[in-house]
Amino acid sequence: MTEARTDETIVEQVKKHYAAIAVSGSSCCGPAPCCGTTAASRQLGYGEGELAAVPQEADLGLGCGAPVGYLALKPGETVLDLGSGPGLDALLAATLVGPTGRVIGVDMTPEMLERARATAARAGAKQVEFRQGRLEALPVEDASVDAVTSNCVINLVPDKAAVFREVARVLRPGGRVVVSDIVLERPLPETVAKDVLAWAGCVAGAALRRDYFAMVEAAGLRGVVSLKEEDYAASFSDIASNEAQTLLQRWGVTHEAIAGVVMSVTWRAVKA
C-alpha cells in the first residue's frame, strides 16, 4: 500500500527519514547509490583524498553525485550548501575556500544539523556554519554567496521553482551553482509517483528533465551545462536482491519499468 501524499506530508516524511539516518549513522534513502557507506561515496565520484580530508562522521554515503569538485572554488569565497545533511560537501568546500573563506550549510532536519555541527567542531572548521531552514526560504542574505551546491536534495522539495528562485536571490551577480540531482526522462508509474517512501528515496519527487531545467532558467540561472549523467535506477541491480524486490513489489512494477527513467544529473549554471 502506498501512503497518501500532500506537500506537508512529504516534508514531514523526508524530515523523519533523514533524522533517523542522522541518529543511526547509517543510511539507505531508497533505491540507488543515494545511500550507503564510504564505498557508496566513492561510487558517486568522491576521491580517496577528498574523503580522507574530512571526518568519517560526515560521510553517510548520501547523494547522487559529487558536485563540489566541479565548483572550482577559490580561497576566500563564500559557499552555500543546500540540504547539507551530515556536512560532507560543506566540509569539502571548507578545505578549498580555506580559513579566509566561508561555508554555510542549510538543512531542515535538527538531527542532521546537530551531527554536522559536532563534526565541523571536531574538524576545527571554524569557517563553516550550519543553519536550520527550508530551501524554499533560505536563511541567507541577498547576493551574499559566490557559489551554491546541493547533492540529491532539491528533488525532495515539492516546490522546486521556489528553490531555484532562492538560489538566484542569494548568489552574487556572476555567481555559479553546481548541483547533483535526480530528473526523470518520462513520468514514473503511478504507484511509484504517489508513494511517499519513494519520494523520501529520491525518486518520486523528481521532476521531468524539461520541466526541471525550465524552472532553473526561469529563476535567472543561465548557461546550464550537464557535467555528468547516470541511470540512477540501474542501482537496483547493485543493491541486495531482497531489498530491491521488496521495493518493486511495493510498487507493483518491474525493474525494466523504471530503468532509464530516473537519471542522476550533475549540472552547472551561473546567475545572469
* 47-60 pLDDT, tens digit each: 988 888 899 899 88
Q: Percent of the chain having pLDDT more than 70?
A: 86
How many other C-beta atoms are found inside a 10 Å radius of the C-beta of residue 229? Answer: 14
Beta strands in the chain (DSSP E): 78-82, 102-107, 128-132, 145-151, 171-184, 207-208, 221-231, 262-271
CA distances from 28 to 44, 57, 124, 247, 248 (A): 14, 16, 29, 12, 16
Q: Would the CA dihedral through 253, 256, 259, 260 be positive or negative?
A: negative
Q: Is the pLDDT of residue 151 over 90?
A: yes
Q: Is the pLDDT of residue 29 over 50?
A: no
Q: Which three cell numbers stand for residue 127?
A: 569557517
Angle at 181 between CA 2 and CA 198, to 5 degrees: 10
Is 2 among the domain residues? no
Are 219 and 213 spatial neighbours (Cβ–Cβ below 8 Å)? Answer: no
In a domain? residue 1: no
How many structural domains does the chain have? 1
- pLDDT tier, 148 (very low <50, low <70, confident <90, very high otherwise): very high
> What is the CATH classification number for the domain harbouring 265?
3.40.50.150
For residue 109, the SS3 value is coil
Mean pLDDT of the chain: 87
Q: What is the pLDDT of residue 37?
A: 56
Residue 118 is assigned to a structural domain of this protein: yes
Place of cell 564505498: 39
Residue 209, pLDDT score:
97
User: Is residue 259 one of the residues assigned to a domain?
Assistant: yes
List, for residues 79-134, the tens digit of each pLDDT value.
Answer: 999 999 999 999 999 999 999 999 999 999 999 999 999 999 999 999 999 999 99
212 found inside a domain: yes
For residue 81, which of 133, 29, 8, 22 has the smallest C-alpha distance?
133
Structural domain for 80, as ranges: 7-271
pLDDT value for 34: 45
Query: Is residue 197 very low, low, confident or very high in pLDDT (cuts 50, 70, 90)?
Result: low
In this structure, is residue 110 part of a structural domain? yes
Where is pLDDT greater, at 63 or 74?
74
Gyration radius of the chain over CA positions: 17
**1, pLDDT greater than 50:** no
Residue 259, pLDDT score: 77
Residues forming a β-bridge with 132: 107
Is 237 contained in some domain?
Answer: yes
Q: Which whole number is the average pLDDT over 211-236?
A: 91
Specify the residue for cell string 572548521.
125
Position 204 in a domain: yes
Write down the pLDDT at residue 157.
Answer: 94
pLDDT for 236 equals 53
DSSP string, 217-241: HHTTEEEEEEEEEEEGGGGGGTS-H
Mean pLDDT across 241-254: 69
Comparing 4 with 114, the larger pLDDT belongs to: 114
Which bin fits 78, alpha (ψ -120 to 50), beta or left (φ > 0)? Answer: beta
Q: Which residues contact 198 (CB under 8 A, 6 or more apart)?
A: 30, 188, 192, 204, 251
User: Residue 12 and residue 179: Cα distance in Å, rounded?
Assistant: 23
Residue 2 has pLDDT above 50, yes or no: no
